[in-house]
Structures are given as C-alpha cells and as structure tokens.
Amino acid sequence: MSVQQLYEEWIKQDLPNHLANDLAAIANIEGEITERFYQSLSFGTGGMRGILGAGTNRMNIYTIRHVAEGLARYIIANGNEAKKRGVALAYDTRHFSFEFACETARVLGAHGIQSYVYKESRPTPQLSFTVRELNAYAGAMITASHNPKQYNGFKVYGEDGAQLTPQFANEIVAHMQDVSDLFAIEVAELTDLEAQGLFTWLADDLDKAYMKQLLTLKSDPSASYDMKLVYTPLHGAGIVPVEEGLRQFGFTEVSIVEEQAVPDGDFPTAPYPNPEEAAAFSKAIELGEKVGANLLLATDPDADRLGVAVWNGSTYELLTGNQLGALLIDYLLATKQAQKTLPDNGIVVKTIVTSEFGEKIASHYNVETENTLTGFKYIAEKIAQYEESSSHTYLFGYEESYGYLIDPFARDKDAVQVALKVAEMAATYAEDGRTLLDRLEELYEQFGYHQEALLSETFEGKDGQEKMIVLLEGVRANVPTEFGDISVIRTEDYLIGRAILADGTEEALTLPKENVIKFILADGTWITVRPSGTEPKCKFYIGVVDSERDVAIEKLKQMKEAVLDRFG
C-alpha cells in the first residue's frame, strides 16, 4: 500500500478520539502523511521507540498491539511452559505508558498468556528484577528513557531479566512481519483476564523484595550519614525506591526536589529529562544551594540512568558518565580489597565507546576488564556467560551514557543501585574531608588525565535516515588515515568483524557484527562512529589521554575539530 492508501485505511477505522483528531490535523500538512506511514516503527535490539501519535511510524495502541502480538507468538513458539510463566510488565510516567502496558496485557491474554502488571510506575531496573523474581518467561517496559515528552517506547526482556540480544529480537521481528492487519489483532478485556487468572496486579511485596536486595549493597549495615544531598527523579519513576533506599541506607539529610517528585509525562520543569544534561539539574542546583548540599543526584524518567553533581566550593560540577564509572570502580574494588572479599577472578565490563580510564583503575586492583558492543544487553549477556562458566566473578558494568550496574540481581543498568552507592561513596570520602572531585583528581594524577567528548549529527525522517546510511558508506569507502596530524594505526570495523592495521594486516574481531567503526590513533586517542540505536542520530565518540590536564584538554579540542572537519 502507498502511504496515502495507508492513511486512508486508518481514517476509516473507529479510532480513539485523540488519534482520529491527530490524523485529521495532518491531512493538509506537506510531508506529514509520508512521515507517519512510510515505514512501521522498527523493533530492534533496544526495542521500539518513537513519537506518540497516529500512524504506523508512531507510538499508539495499534503499534503497541503489533509488537505485543509478535511477543505473544514468540512465547507461544517456546511452548506451554513459557505461556504459563508469562510476562512481567512495568512502565514509567510518560503519556500513555499505563495504557500501553494494559494494551500489551490484553493482547497477551487473548493468546492465553499470563501477565503481571504494576499498578503504578516503576523503574526499568525493577522490571528487570521482577522478571527474575517471578520466574517470568519475559518482561516488557513501557518507556522512552530520557527522551522528550513526545516519545514513548517498548523494551522487551528475556527470562534472565536482560534486554533481548539480536538473535531473540529478530525472532519477534519475524513474527511481527507475519501480521498483515494491525486492526485485526485480537485483544481481550482485562476484567475477563482477571477472572481467568491470566492478569495479575503486582502487589508491594515486589517493592519490598527489590529494596531488600538494594540494602545488601551497603558496605557497613550499621552506618548512618549526615551528609546533605539533594535528589530529583525528574518527574519520573525513581522517586519511590531512591527516596526510601537513601533513608534505609542511613541518610538523614536528604532533600527532594518536590516539584519534580510529581509524576508528570509533560516533564514541565525538565523538558529534556536527561541527567546527562546540565539543564536537567537546574532545580536540584537551586535546592542544593539553599540547603547547602554536598551532592546532587538525578535519575531519568525510568530510573536506569543516574547523573551526579558535586559541590566544588563555589558551584556544582556535573560528573561525566566516564568519570563516575571510574570513581565507582575504584571505590567498589578498594572496599572489597579492604574487606578481603575481592575475588581472584573478578571482572569489570564496559562498552567499546566507554573510556579506558576505568580499565586502568581495575587493572591496578588486578581485575580484568572486558569490552562489549554498545547496549547494556551485551553486558547482561556477559554476566550470564560468567555465571554459566564460572570463569569470572562480575563486579561492575557500565557505559559512558550514565548507565551502571553493581549487583546483577537486576540485568539492566540500575540508577537506583548506583544512587545509593554514590551517596555512600561521597559520604565516606567526606568523613576525611574529601569530595568525589578530590578523589577523581587523585585518580587522574595516578592514571593520566582521560578526557572524552560525544558529538552527534541528527538525521530526522526518511531523508535523514538515507543520509546517515550514505555517511557511513562514505567512511568505509574512504577510511581516514589520520585525524589532525595524528596517524590512525588501527581501524576496527564491527560490521565486517575485522580490524585493519596501518600496514594493511587484518585481525578478526570477536564481538558481534554491528554498524560501528572505531579508529585507534598513534598517541592513544580513539574515535568511534556509531549510528544511535534509539534516536535518529549518528554519534561520534572521542577519547584522549595525557599526563598533563591542560595538554589533554587541548588535545580533545583539536580532535573534536578534526572529527567535525572529517564528518561534519
């Protein structure tokens, strides 16, 4: 069908009023019908994410039914036991998140598949934990993470509580492709499903079980802390477990940004609810200055990412994801070493676009580091492999985009875990008059000043996606031999699974194939080009290091200019 035919087919349907009005409003807007119908929202290894609205390329109850139908058929293909174990469902505070979770349960129930649904919003890591706790066969989280209010999404989890890796995600996609009519997908009524025992509202016993696991992270069970800190959930789902967790961890001076503690899918005080961005901390900074807080913590709407800002004596300084990851590695390993619980086969896992800073710190403690492709599902996959083989003991996993996991009772990045541990870390250093910034400087002096940057170019819509493909093809057709005046000594192309050295020799790459290219330069600088898996962007990651701070900062500035000259 053409985009116009698809549009007209949707117009004929008895749509909910908000979708019918949406379609009527775009009738005469040039190019808008094409944008809404030129493709179906893709379901990839990160799930499905898109702008809310009517159309096959938008998030709405019909595209939710589509992915839920694919999930249902995937479960059925794995036998009756999978159907009985069912699916755990959670959602954040975004518009239609609750409705989409219920709609998913209606589709699953129509196939005789059990659903377990939270009555209120809960964090993504708690959904991961819940899948494992209930021994469910799968899980689904309705969230668009840190995207603006116009977005929502659908992430699918396997029975281990981890996001699906490509092999299993592709099976769901194959089942979705067999669905020819979104409006013919069968749904059941929730009241009927409850009566049949196929739909269960989750009680607060799961909250208590999750909190019990969180409290095992406390280094000294009897400790209490009077350090002043501020926490904001940015209108999201983190407020319940983070606030209660901090209290049970022994923090008595916690101030909550009250206007941002209200769940609100409009994110009225934080239009871009991303703790990677300094603007997201504006309200927390106001409150921090008022109460004299040493530390500010912010979680994104589904509480899988944590941002941290530290008082430096005159203002609040936002830590990068790489900096916080390095600090956590140092603190976690040093604590285990002091308690004589550091295992001989310990391992840290990070992604290929994450700084080498943390790897150097881990090596100092005789702990190995393993790299994965971008996406926490790959870190979770490594955890499962370590458990099965007993080859390593997992100690920490992280990625530069503010995602961390300490204890694998959850199998996705967990900002709740890390918020509690960062608070403990900061309070521990405060006892001898140091801040996180002081400890970071000590680590820089010991291991070198690592500086990183992320540049990105946006490619919106159909034309944008085609331009991004051309950009990546152009990089492969004309591989750079230098950036600025620094030679490229190694090019890693993960799409073909090969590394090419400057002398032309090749080596096989062991990680799965993905559309990513990484350049290693003669001075230790690295540059990675990667299309985003969740946003219409191509991302350019840069990492440099030097023994002198000023030199490292200047080197990063020059490399950013070189990357923009080459790819901008």
Catalytic sites, residue numbers:
145
CB-based contacts of 389, cutoff 8 Å, min separation 6: none
Distance of CA 119 to the CA centre of its chain: 23
End-to-end CA, the chain: 36
The count of other CB atoms within 10 Å of the CB of residue 111 is 17
The pair phi, psi for residue 123, each rounded to 5°, is -65, 155
Contact 101, 107 (CB under 8 A): no
Give the C-alpha separation, 201 to 475, whole Å.
Answer: 51
Distance of CA 45 to the CA centre of its chain: 12
Of 93, 112, 103, 115, whose CA–CA distance to 65 is shortest?
103
Residue reference for tokens 């550091």: 342
Contact 73, 175 (CB under 8 A): yes
Give the C-alpha separation, 445 to 442, whole Å.
Answer: 5
Give the C-alpha separation, 378 to 367, whole Å.
Answer: 19
Give the C-alpha separation, 185 to 202, whole Å.
Answer: 26
Give the C-alpha separation, 464 to 458, whole Å.
Answer: 8
Q: Among positive and negative, which fits the CA dihedral 258, 50, 538, 372?
A: positive
Contact 524, 451 (CB under 8 A): no
Contact 540, 525 (CB under 8 A): no
Ranges of H-type helices in 218-297: 239-248, 282-291
Q: Two tokens at 244? A: 């209660």
Quickly list DSSP for 72-113. Answer: HHHHHHT-HHHHHH-EEEEE-SSTTHHHHHHHHHHHHHHTT-
- Residue 464's alpha-carbon distances to 148, 461, 535, 538, in angstroms, are 19, 5, 12, 10
Contact 139, 88 (CB under 8 A): yes
